[in-house]
Amino acid sequence: MPRAGLDPAAVVAAGAALADEVGLAQLTMGLLAERVGVRTPSLYKHVGGQEDLHRRIGALALSQAADAVGVAVQGRAGRDALAAAARAFRSFVVEHPGRYAASIGVEPSGPDDPLAVEGRRLLDAFTAVLRGYEIAESDVDHALRTLRSLCHGFATLQSANGFQWSVDVDESFEWLIAFADRGLRAG
């Protein structure tokens, strides 16, 4: 009998929070079971195992990132939208490094896989940013990959404490936004 209040969504939410605390690589079914107050075999009533848990956390992360970026860009265009999207994405990754890590490099099983659906939502939010620039349709994928690389790289380096010199990290991020804006305008 599943513990009262424990369902797949609650297990995934607890796993995501734990991944943010200890890192995705350290997240185990045993540690999660301890966190939610059940024995490890009880978790398998809610998730199919470690890989399924990671996939579900990845889909949750993409959904939450898409929500954050989507809300941030509403009613904005051009550099304003770019800055809002980049800041929202960076904040999400820095605040949720474990769950974000679960979204990287995972292959969706098909177009209806939550990873694919939520990934498209996040791409759609960044695609909306590009509408404020004169990007040729044939270059949209390249522009999206460039933005993702810039934002992902900065945010994951920051969340891993990769910027340990004296220049303010926020100033560097604003420099990155201005750099991206110039590049998109020139493109």
Q: What is the pLDDT of residue 3?
A: 56
pLDDT at 31 over 70: yes
Q: How far apart are CA 30 and CA 53, in angstroms?
A: 12
Burial 150-182 (b: 16+ CB within 10 A, else e): bbeebbbebbeeeeeeeeebeeebeebbeebbe
What's the whole-number average pLDDT of the chain?
95
- Please state the φ and ψ torsions of residue 113, each to the nearest 5 degrees: -60, 135
Return the closest-CA partner of residue 130 out of 66, 89, 62, 79: 79
- Please state the φ and ψ torsions of residue 117, each to the nearest 5 degrees: -60, -50
pLDDT at 127 over 90: yes
As a whole number, mean pLDDT of residues 22-49 equals: 96
pLDDT at 2 over 50: no
pLDDT at 147 over 50: yes
Q: Are 85 and 125 spatial neighbours (Cβ–Cβ below 8 Å)?
A: yes
Q: What is the pLDDT of residue 40?
A: 96
User: What pTM, to 2 d.p., does this model score?
Assistant: 0.94
Q: What is the pLDDT of residue 165?
A: 83
As a whole number, mean pLDDT of residues 31-55 equals: 96
Q: What is the pLDDT of residue 4?
A: 57
- Cα–Cα distances (Å) from 96 to 72, 78, 105, 122, in that order, read 17, 27, 17, 16
As a whole number, mean pLDDT of residues 155-165 equals: 93
As a whole number, mean pLDDT of residues 55-67 equals: 98
